[in-house]
Amino acid sequence: MAKPLYDIPYLEKLQVLLAALKQRSLELLEIKKGDVIADIGCGTGADAAAIAKMGAKVYGFDHNPEMITASKQQKAEGLNIEFIQSDAANIPLPSGSVDKILFDRVFQHLDDYNAVLQEAYRILKPGGQLQIIDPDHFSFTLFLADIELERKLLDNISYKRIPNSYRVRQIPQFLEKNGFKTQLTEIHNYLVKDYNLATSIIRFEKVVNEEYAEGNIREEELNNWYSLKAQSSESFNFSMNMMMFSAIKNA
């Protein structure tokens, strides 16, 4: 997995922004008391805790030790939940031991989709459910008049900062290849009208400065970008789509 591009405050900010999507995720998982759930790439553990409160036994996995430390603070009394540091392609659970698996914004960071899906297939029970949520980076738009500048920024994100992110559109093909049947695909659009929030989510200012330092953005383009700061919420727009896939393990 690539080096993380996020920290705890960043994840907490997204937890608020994506609240409606997370509620939809829980609805589709149809969690029943006694279900065994694996939240792979659990981050701060907020989703795992919400699932455990619904009566499930939850395992939260993350390769980042800082996230596991933060997650363990979610372990409220009475919740059947365990957080374990682990790579997504090497989950320390027995084969066929999990009813449902959640990946939330994990696949954009993965180098090997097949290895991770094969591991998910191994630990899922026959007929078990797999849910994947990821941003569609190719859907991002800032509605800039300077289309060339917008393309430079988005290409930096999709090919340099998160080099495998473009492949999330291929998730259905990878699911089929690895023994899953996709049952549902949903697109959820988010429109962010606050410049500071948009740039903190996608790190646009860092991207702009990187491209300028490398000579890929002209000074005029740099000035045009920073002029966005002065725009009101009525004129600033950042749009992104979040994709959700639900699949089952073929028996």
pLDDT mean across residues, the chain: 90
- Region at 161 (left for phi over 0; alpha for psi -120 to 50; beta for the rest): alpha
Residue 236 in domain: no
> Which of 65, 56, 60 lies closest to 45, judged by CA?
60
Residue 74 in domain: yes
Residue 20 in domain: yes
Tens digit of each residue's pLDDT (9 = 90 or more) over 141-184? 988 888 899 999 988 888 888 888 889 999 999 999 999 999 99
Total number of domains constituting the chain: 1
Residue 201 in domain: no
CA dihedral for 151, 153, 156, 159, sign (positive or negative): negative
* The one-letter amino acid at 245: F
Residue 150 in domain: no
pTM passes above 0.85: yes
> Which of 115, 68, 122 lies closest to 95, judged by CA?
122
Residue 158 in domain: no
* Domain span including residue 130: 8-137+163-191+241-249
- The whole-angstrom separation of Cα 98 and Cα 249 is 11
> Which of 97, 94, 50, 87 lies closest to 67, judged by CA?
87
Given the structure tokens 């950042």, which residue do they identify? 238
Residue 107 in domain: yes
The CATH code of the domain that includes 68 is 3.40.50.150
Residue 227 in domain: no
Tens digit of each residue's pLDDT (9 = 90 or more) over 198-215? 888 888 888 999 999 999
Tens digit of each residue's pLDDT (9 = 90 or more) over 40-73? 999 889 999 999 999 999 999 999 998 898 888 8
